[in-house]
Amino acid sequence: MFVRYYETGGRTLRAGRPAGVEGWLPIASLMNLKALVATGRAPLIHPAGTVSEYLWRAGRKWLGRNFRIPRVVDVPLRGLKYLLLGLFLYAVSSMPAPAIREFLDSPYGMVDDVKMLNFFRELGMTGGGVLLVLVLGL
């Protein structure tokens, strides 16, 4: 509804920016954390949030358990996750706080969550296939 209001030029019901989008934008959350620590000011556009914890709980509630993938697949994927985290941490830690604020307050920084939403709204076969493989843990 937030996006639709702006897409229609204000002709639909106005809604506030949802807080849960940062689960899909982890680098923005890291940037905001650094800016908060460095400047003492909380971000106005993307306050950090999480989605993965809710997905874990939903899997446990709906299915009675969470699936485990074979260790031979799990360990390399876990390593990839921490490699990406390291790259994100390096990128964010090397940016000065004013540059982070400038990026987050830029026109692109204000709509990056909308761009991510549009990725899922206009999902193609390749993106859908990749997501299906990730969800199924194959």
**Which sequence spans correspond to the domains of the chain?**
19-114
| pLDDT value of position 44 | 67
User: pLDDT digit string (tens) for 11-41?
Assistant: 998 887 776 655 567 777 778 778 888 888 7
Tokens of residue 114, six digits: 């909308």
- Burial of residue 27 (CB within 10 Å: 0-12, 13-18, 19+) is middle
Entry pTM: 0.54
Average confidence score pLDDT of the chain: 80
Residues 6+ apart with CB under 8 A from 65: 59
